[in-house]
Structure formats: C-alpha cells, structure tokens
Amino acid sequence: MHGFRSSLVWISLLAAIEAMDILTTDIGRAQGAVESMPISAAVMNEGGMALFIFIKLALVAAGATAVLLALLWVRKGRPGAGWVYVFTLSAIRVTTVALAIVALHNAVLLQSLSGPV
C-alpha cells in the first residue's frame, strides 16, 4: 500500500504544480510576458491556452498511467517491474521538482512585471 500512496502523492503534486504553471503562464501572458519555452510557446501560438491546458493534463494522465501500471506489474511479480516502477516514479518526482522551480520563476517574473509594491 505504501507504493500506491507514494505514487498518488507524487502524481497529485505534479498535477498541482502543472496547475500553478498554467495559472502563472496565463497571468504572465495577460501582462505582456512572452513564453520562453519554445514548445510551450508553439503550442499556445497554435491552439491558445485551451490546447496548452489539454496537453498539460494529458501529460499528467500519461505519467499517472505509467506509474500505476508499473506498480500493478510489481504487485503481479513481473520480472524487472520494480526497476520500471522506480524509474517512472523517479521521473515523476524530478519533473515535479523541475516544474515547481519553473512555477516559482514565473511567480517572481509576475511580481517584477507588476512593479514595486
């Protein structure tokens, strides 16, 4: 059960951080900031924020599916499943931390765009 809870915590954190990235990106764009990530900028230029949000949600769903499938394989005793689970959960953790840094950067940028308080 520990693996399942840990997986859910990290998937939930990833979803929350993705939501913060979406929010700070949208607010920043409304204040005149330009998206510095080329792929994100291309997505928003082609489909706007709706496509950006859809892709972010799809990425979280894909990550969650990968982690939970790997955990299921571990429980079924498939050879090598433990390594797959460790790898996929580690990927979720690294991605979550990296996106938290991006969201924090976006928040700092938003503060600088609004001027001195």
- pLDDT in the model for residue 3: 85
Q: Give the tokens for residue 33.
A: 């900031």
Cα 115 from chain centroid (whole Å):
28
Structure tokens given for 54: 């859809």
Check residue 109 and give its pLDDT. 83
What is the band of 1 on the pLDDT scale with cuts at 50, 70, 90?
low
Local structure of 91: helix, strand or coil: helix
CA angle 84, 91, 3 (to 5 degrees): 60
Give pLDDT, residue 107.
85
Q: Tens digits of per-residue pLDDT, 29-76?
A: 888 888 888 999 999 999 999 999 999 999 999 999 999 999 999 999
Residue ranges making up the domain that contains 9: 2-113
Work out how many domains the chain is built from and give that number: 1
